[in-house]
Amino acid sequence: MFTKNDIIRQLENMNAPRNSIVMVHTSMRTVGAVEGGAEGLLEAFLEYFTAEDGLLCVPVHTWRNFGKSDRITLDLTTSENSLGVFSTVAAADPRCVRSENPTHSVAVFGDRARAEAFVRDDAEIVTPTAPESCYGKLYSEGGHVLLVGVPQTQNTYLHCVGEILNLPNRMAREAMPVTVRRPSGEIVHRELRLYYTDYMSNISSRFMKYDTAFRYHGCITDGFIGNAPTQLCDAVKMKETVELVYQNAGGVDPLATERCFPPQWFCPK
C-alpha cells in the first residue's frame, strides 16, 4: 500500500515542478493500492503540485456523448465522464474548477482565481484542444503532462500540438452541435469541430511513434507513481519536437503509416 508520502517522494525523485501547470492522465489500476484510493492519490497530487502556486489539471472528458442528440455533451452538474475512477473523483471534488470544453473538459485545482482564469477561454473554443484552450496553455505557459501508467497514445496534449501547428488532415471540416449544462442548470448550445483524419479513425493510436524523438530531445523524465511507470513530459519541448519531425519529413505525414520515424526526421543533420 502506497502512502501520500510515498507518492510525494516519487514525484520528488522525478524533479516534478511544484509551481507549474501539470496535466495528469492516470490509470489507477496500474498505480495499484494507494492509501485512500483515488481520493488519496488526488490529495497527494494536490499537496505536491498546488502548494507553491501551481495548477493541477485532471482531464474529465465527455467525448462519448459527442454526436448523441439524446445526451448533454458536457453536464457540469454530474461527475460522469468518459475516463476512469481518478477523473470521476476529481470532477466530483468541490475544490476544482471545471472547464466548459464540451468534449475535453478539465478539472483544475489550485488558487481558485487563477484556476477560473485558466479555464475561461474553454467556454468559447470551437475545437477541442484549440491553442487558447487549457491544453494550449500548457504550451504558452510552459506546463507539463504527467502520464501515470498510460502511454503517449493517451496524451491529449498532442492533439493540441496538431492544432497549434495547424497540421493538415487532423480536424473535421464541419462543426457539429454540442450542449453544455452549467452548474446552475442553464443549457448552452454551441458547435464544435472534432478530430478527423481521412486514413484512420483514431490518429492518437500512433502517437507512440513520437516516443523515440521525445526521448532524444529530452522531453521525458521517467519515474514511478505507485507501481505505474510514469512519464513527466515537457509541453514546450514536445511541441518543438513534433514541429521538427514535420519539417524534416518533407511533406510526408509522419503518422500516415505504422513505421518508425527515420532518424533524420528528428536528429540533427
Question: How confident is the model over 119-136, as a mean pLDDT?
Answer: 97
pLDDT score, position 70? 83
Identify whether 257 is part of a domain: no
pLDDT score, position 171? 93
pLDDT score, position 11? 98
Structural domain harbouring 227: 4-249
Identify whether 258 is part of a domain: no
Identify whether 177 is part of a domain: yes
Question: How confident is the model over 227-253, as a mean pLDDT?
Answer: 96
Number of folded domains that form the chain? 1
Identify whether 259 is part of a domain: no
pLDDT score, position 269? 65
Q: Whole-model pTM?
A: 0.96
Statement: residue 261 has pLDDT above 90: yes
Task: Give the chain's mean pLDDT.
Answer: 96
Give the closest residue to 128 by CA, choosing from 211, 196, 186: 196
Give the closest residue to 89 by CA, choosing from 104, 72, 111, 109: 109
Question: How confident is the model over 141-166, as a mean pLDDT?
Answer: 97
pLDDT score, position 85? 94
Strand, helix or coil for residue 230: strand
Identify whether 157 is part of a domain: yes
pLDDT score, position 67? 81
- Please measure the distance between the N-terminal and C-terminal CA atoms of the chain and give it in whole angstroms: 48
Write out the three cell numbers for 175. 462543426
In terms of phi and psi (left: phi > 0; alpha: psi -120 to 50; beta: otherwise), the region of 59 is beta
